[in-house]
Amino acid sequence: MPEKKRKAIEKINLLISFLDEENDEILMSIEKELLSLNKQENTILKQLISDIDNPDISRRIKNIVILNNFRFSETELLHWLSINDKSLFDLLTIIAKIEYPDLDCKSLRIHYDKILKEVWTSIPAEFSPLDVAKLLKSAFFNVQKFKMLPSNSIIVRHFMINDVLQTKETNKLFLNILYICIARDLGIPIVPLMIESLLILAFENKEPYNISFIDNKFLFFIDNTTLSPYPDAKLRQKFNIKEDVDLPYERFTDTEIATTLLNWLDNLYLQNKKELLSERIKSLIEKIEEK
């Protein structure tokens, strides 16, 4: 056994031995130390749980492991929000690690890149924006076999990128975010907008698919249930917006995507009685909104 790991095990075992103390001050000090463990040390702590006979101490350590894992994800997420050139796939991976702390991110990335390649090779370079949107829909539903479930899904795995890529099942919200993620990574200018609190996907009049003789900022929109393209006029009819009035849209930012997913996850954890994680997610959302 490497010396570094041996010393880490000795340190953690020593800390655990103090958890049966009745002195509150000592307990708080020990828990503070355990709540500052790094990833490797936290893994060791998790492995030692099975050796503990006292159910109260075992439960306390399990909570500490959960809180440490969440701290690691929180740090990653706050860093992700601070950088300019964001990968939406990285956000989905970070959120998945809240539920799956030991997620194999390398294998997940390989799986995702394989899907990207399959979608990309099905779209000829000379295709028009409308054809590209139609092919994207076909790639999602016919080739990749993704299945859109009801939006009121209360199953956590429908919001975890590793589960979604494996089962091909998710709800409308997550499928739209995955759609944006893939489009962005393929350089296809499809963006998420909010109109009257509803998510709308729009195909921007932007390189490499721009049409110079059209002044519109968006070439057309994409139905977020069927992923089918539809024109500006149909969107206006849906929201009762007159032709001579600008569309009242706002960009659905990456930060809003993050907080939306976190809010959904918070609700799911509450329903599944995972109050500890729910509290931490609420705290994280507050930190994001304060920025």
pLDDT for the residue 1: 64
Which has the closest alpha carbon to 173: 252, 285, 79, 288?
252
pTM of the model: 0.91
pLDDT tens string for the chain (291 positions)? 677 888 888 889 888 888 887 788 888 899 999 999 999 999 999 998 988 888 888 999 999 999 999 999 999 999 999 998 889 999 999 999 999 999 999 999 999 999 999 998 888 877 899 999 999 999 999 999 999 987 677 789 999 999 999 999 999 999 999 999 999 999 999 999 999 888 999 999 998 888 877 778 999 999 988 999 999 889 999 899 998 888 899 999 999 999 999 999 999 999 888 899 999 999 999 999 887
CA dist 235 and 248 (Å) reads 11
CA angle 273–274–279, rounded 5-degree value? 120
Helix ranges (H only) for 37-153 are 39-48, 55-82, 88-99, 105-121, 129-138
pLDDT for the residue 183: 96
pLDDT for the residue 4: 80
**Cα 267 from chain centroid (whole Å):** 15
Quote the DSSP letter at residue 143: I
67 in Cβ contact with 61 (< 8 Å): no
120 in Cβ contact with 188 (< 8 Å): no
Distance linking the first and last C-alpha atoms of the chain = 44
B/e letters for 138-164, b = 16+ CB within 10 Å, e = fewer, are ebbbeebebebeeeebeebbbbbbbbb
Q: What are phi and psi of 223, to 5 degrees?
A: -60, 130
CA dist 220 and 193 (Å) reads 13
CA dist 199 and 168 (Å) reads 21
